[in-house]
Structure 1
C-alpha cells in the first residue's frame, strides 16, 4: 500500500504544480474569460466547438485541475486511512482537502461572478497552500514507509519562531506578487533593481507603488532567509534534514528573485513568469515542511 501511496502522492504533487502553472498561463495570457461566465461547462458545452486561443488555455487549465483534483482526493483519503493513528497526518490531509476545495471554489466564483484583484491574489495563495500540504503529506508517506514514525528533534525557540516568521513573511510576499500580476502592475517599475532609475521612486502611487512594495518585501525576505540559514549553519548543521532543507529554500528564493528580474528585463516573458512562480512554489513547500518539523515534539 505504501508503494501505491508514493506513486499517487508524486502524481498528485506534480498535478497541483501543473495546476498552479496553468493558472499563471491563464492570467498571463488574459484567458480567464476564455470559457465565458460558465462553470464547469465551457461556453455551455462539455467540449467547446470552434475554440479560440483563450478558450483552449482556460479549458486546458480546467481539465488539468479536474484530473489533478481527483488524484489529490484519492491520495489524501487513502493516506489518512492508512496512517490514521498519526494525528499530524490526519491534520495535514484535512488541510490539503480544504485548500483544494477553497481554491477551486474561488476559481469558479471568479469565472461566474468575477472577483476583485485582491480576491484573485488570494486564489493563488490558497493554491500554494494546497501544494504545500500535499508536498508535506508526500514526505510523510516516505518517512512512515521506512520507520513508521515521523522525524523529530529538539530545536531552540529561535529556530522554531524563525521558521514560523519566514512562513508568514513568505506568504505575504507571495500575495503581493499575485496582487502585482492581477492589478497589471508588473511593469510599474521600469528597470531592476532600481525602480524607474531611483532607489526610492518619487511617485509611489498606483502600479508603481504596488510593484515597489513587492520588491521591498522580497528583499526583506531574502535578508530574513539569509539570517535563518546562518543560524542553522552555525548551530544545527549536524541536522541534515533541517540544514539541507534550509539551503534548498534559500537558493530557490534566489532563483525566484533572479527570474523576477528576468521578467522585467524581458518585458513580461511568459516562460520567465512561469519559472518565477515555479521556484516560489517549490520553496514554499520546503518551508511548510520545515515549520511542521521544528515544532514537532521530540
Structure 2
C-alpha cells in the first residue's frame, strides 16, 4: 500500500469516526429543537422566512404574515439546519476521498453510497417536517433516519478499519441468527415507539410508574393512538390526539421497553460465554438499565429538558452498542472446514 493511499485511508478513518460523533450531536440538536417547540420556528425550508439567516421581525412579517417571528425558536431551528448541512458535506467529502479506492477488494464503497442516499432522504424528511407541520409519521421517520445515518457512519468506520488492516472482506463471517435479528427488531420497534411518543406529545400522558394514572391498565384508545393513515392536519404542534390515545402510546412504549429488555437479556445469556463479546453485552445491558431509569425519571419529573435529552442520548448509545456487539460477533473467527466458530485465544487469555 503506497504512502498516498495510506494517508488517504487515515483521513477516511478519522472523518468516518468524526461522522459518528457529529451525527450523535445532530440527533441531539434535533431533539432539542423539538423539545423547545422550535420545529416550526421557521415556516419555510431550507431558509428562514426566505433568508439563510434569521431576519428581523419586519422582514419576517412581510414574508409570512400568518407566522409571527419568535427569534429564539427560529435560531434553534436554523442551528439544527446548519449542523445537518455540515453533516451532509462530511458525507460528500468521504465519498470524494474514497472514489479512487472504490475498485479495491474490500473497500466499503457501497456503504459510502448508501450513506449519501440516506442523508439525502434525511434532507427531504427535514423539509417535510416543516411543510407537513410536524406530521407525526414524518417526525418519527426523521428520527429513525438520523439513527440510520449514525449506523452507516459507524459501519463505514469499522469496514475501513478492516480494509486498512489488509482484510479484503472475503473471509467467512457468521450469518445473522434469529436471536440477533429479534434483538435488532425490538430495538428498532422501541426507537420508533419513542419517536411516536415524542411526535404525539405523549411523554407525560401517564402520571406515575409502574402504574399509569393510578391504574395498571387505564382507559386507552389504541386504534386512535396508532392510526398511521390519518390525513395531514393543519398543525401538529403540541399534538391533536385525545388523552386516551396518548395513554395508549405511552403504554405501548412501556411494553416495548419491557420486550426489548427481555430480548437483550436473552442475547446476553446466549453469548455470555464468548469472552470477546462479554464486555459489549455487559455494556449493552448496563446502558439499557440506565435508559430504563431515565424513562421512569422523565415520567416522574414531568419531562424536564435535560432529562429528555439524556434519554435520547441513551437511545443513541443503545444503537451504537448493539451494532458494535453485532460487529464483534460477526468478526469472530470461523473455521472454514467445519463452519464452527472459534473464539480467538488472544481474547480469551488476554
Contact kept, 8 Å, 1:80 with 1:89, in 2: the verdict is: no
CA RMSD across the alignment: 2.5
Residue 14 of structure 1 is matched in structure 2 by 21
CA distance in 2, matches of 1:212, 1:188: 9
Gap regions ≥5 residues in structure 1: none
Residue 247 of structure 1 is matched in structure 2 by 282
CA distance in 1, matches of 2:290, 2:52: 39
CA distance in 2, matches of 1:108, 1:181: 19
CA distance in 2, matches of 1:251, 1:73: 36
Match of 1:141 among 135, 160, 174: 160
1:191 CA displacement? 1.3
Contact kept, 8 Å, 1:34 with 1:56, in 2: the verdict is: yes
Residue 60 of structure 2 is matched in structure 1 by none
1:150 CA displacement? 5.2
Match of 2:196 among 171, 179, 184: 179
Is 1:199 matched with 2:216? yes
Count of aligned residue pairs for this structure pair: 291
Contact kept, 8 Å, 1:263 with 1:272, in 2: the verdict is: yes
SS in structure 2 opposite 1:85? Answer: coil
Q: Which has the higher contact order (CA 8 A, sep 6+)?
A: 1
CA distance in 2, matches of 1:71, 1:203: 45
Bigger Cα Rg: 2
TM-score, with normalisation over the residues of structure 1? 0.88
Q: 1:127 to 1:7 in 2, by over 3 A?
A: same
CA distance in 1, matches of 2:18, 2:211: 41
Q: 1:267 to 1:167 in 2, by over 3 A?
A: same
- Does 188-197 or 280-289 show the bigger shift? 280-289
CA distance in 2, matches of 1:154, 1:140: 13
Match of 2:180 among 163, 166, 176: 163
Matches within 5 A, 1:183-262: 183-203=200-220, 205-234=244-273, 237-238=274-275, 240=276, 242-262=277-297
Relative to total residues, which structure has the larger helix share, 1 or 2? 1
Residue 337 of structure 2 is matched in structure 1 by none
Matches within 5 A, 1:1-298: 1-36=8-43, 38-50=44-56, 52-79=71-98, 81-82=100-101, 84-86=103-105, 89-149=108-168, 155=174, 160-203=177-220, 205-234=244-273, 237-238=274-275, 240=276, 242-291=277-326, 294=329, 298=334
After superposition, the C-alpha distances for 1:239-280 in whole angstroms (9 at most, x for unaligned) are x1x333322222222222221122112211111111111121
TM-score, with normalisation over the residues of structure 2? 0.76
CA distance in 2, matches of 1:7, 1:161: 34
Contact kept, 8 Å, 1:151 with 1:293, in 2: the verdict is: no
1:22 CA displacement? 0.8
- Does 116-125 or 69-78 show the bigger shift? 69-78
- Does 274-283 or 189-198 show the bigger shift? 189-198
Gap regions ≥5 residues in structure 2: 1-7, 57-69, 222-243, 335-350
Q: 1:35 to 1:182 in 2, by over 3 A?
A: same
